[in-house]
Amino acid sequence: MGSSFLLGGFVNMKDDSGNGTEQTFTSAMAQTTCFLLALSVASMIIPATLYSILDSSDQHGKTESILWHSRGTAIILLILYALYLCFQLRTHKNLFSEGSGGTSTLDEEADEPESVMSPWSATAVLVAVTVVISFCADYLVGSIDSIAKDAHTSKSFIGLILIPIVGNAAEHATACVMAVRNKMDLATGVAIGSSIQIALLVTPLLVVLGWAINVPMGLNFNILERVIFAVSVLVVTGTVQDGKSNYSEGAMLAGLYIIIALTFWAIPTGDLGKAAG
């Protein structure tokens, strides 16, 4: 998001009269996504708070309580994500389409290509690509230890900074291109939408899948991860809530990301896991 605000703000810095201008996007989308991000923060803070007040002498009981709480929270998050998709794509899609923040024209809409794949063929391609990606991801995760050793860096930096940058390169490029074209609804939708997808779909889904295969997975993250996530959501909320953006806000978001990256770079390998609880 920081790079899209930064590039879009620089390219669209002035209006036709030479005055400074800001890019705009749908306020309803910004408010809804901010609420969802705040909800995802709560889903991380509450289990950690619960863990801290439970009886420390009964470690097994604490672990079981956190697991059951995390599994219940995960189910609720999945339901809320499904309701969010229904709200955005079906019942209130008009709130997310009005005021695109750009200069979309009828000619541009006419130039958009029509879909050439049926739902069944698209589903088949998606399943096939997912299988291939799963093998690639398994190989990548298995290579992290050797990469961290050869590069003399921490696994935290590789797993939380480098891999997300590479894995989401297409989304980053799309958000930046849309921002440069002054289509800020698309840019913010891509940037924030992926974060919501990870927080409200992927993370709780992993907890539920771990439950199904009897692998304990909870939402009790360590204190550094909780603080960084909460601060990031707070800054993003303050940035997008007014439905406007400029290159100054983009620079601040990019600066925050660099600070977070430096934080994980400074953590010795293995020390991040010791902070859990």
Mean pLDDT score, 10-31: 80
Region of poorest pLDDT, from 68-82, 102-116, 182-196, 252-266: 102-116
What are the boundaries of each domain within the chain?
2-103+124-269
What pLDDT, on a 0 to 100 scale, did the predictor assign at position 113?
A: 59
State the pLDDT confidence band at 274, using cuts at 50, 70 and 90.
Answer: low
Q: Is the dihedral of CA 89, 94, 95, 99 positive or negative?
A: positive
What pLDDT, on a 0 to 100 scale, did the predictor assign at position 103?
A: 45
Give buried/exposed letters for 155-185 (b at 16+ CB in 10 A, else e): bbbbbbbbbeeeebeeebebbbbbbbbbbbb
What pLDDT, on a 0 to 100 scale, did the predictor assign at position 269?
A: 61
What span, in angstroms and rounded, lies between the C-alpha atoms of 210 and 200? 16
Statement: residue 229 has pLDDT above 60: yes
Contact (Cβ atoms closer than 8 angstroms) between residue 256 and residue 235: yes
Average pLDDT, the chain: 83
Q: Is the dihedral of CA 207, 57, 225, 76 positive or negative?
A: positive
The CA distances from residue 106 to 103, 183, 187, 218, 227, in Å, are 10, 14, 20, 49, 45
Helix axes 2-11, 184-197, angle to 10 degrees: 170
Residue type, 41: V
Task: For 202-216, write each residue's pLDDT tens digit.
Answer: 999 999 999 999 988
Statement: residue 77 has pLDDT above 60: yes
What span, in angstroms and rounded, lies between the C-alpha atoms of 256 and 252? 6
Both tokens of 68, joined, read 């059951």
Burial of 222 (0-12, 13-18, 19+ CB in 10 A): middle
Residue type, 105: T
CATH architecture of 2-103+124-269: Up-down Bundle (1.20)
Q: Which residue's entry shows tokens 């771990």?
A: 210
- HSE value, Cβ hemisphere, 13 Å, CA-based, for 145: 4
What pLDDT, on a 0 to 100 scale, did the predictor assign at position 108?
A: 47
Burial of 213 (0-12, 13-18, 19+ CB in 10 A): exposed
Q: Is the dihedral of CA 43, 49, 53, 59 positive or negative?
A: positive
Task: For 181-198, write each residue's pLDDT tens digit.
Answer: 988 888 888 888 888 888
- pTM for this predicted structure: 0.80
* The length of the chain, given as a count of residues: 277
Contact (Cβ atoms closer than 8 angstroms) between residue 187 and residue 8: yes
Of residues 31 and 250, the one with the higher pLDDT is 250
What's 20's DSSP letter? B
Q: Which of 50, 25, 17, 65 lies closest to 183, judged by CA?
A: 25
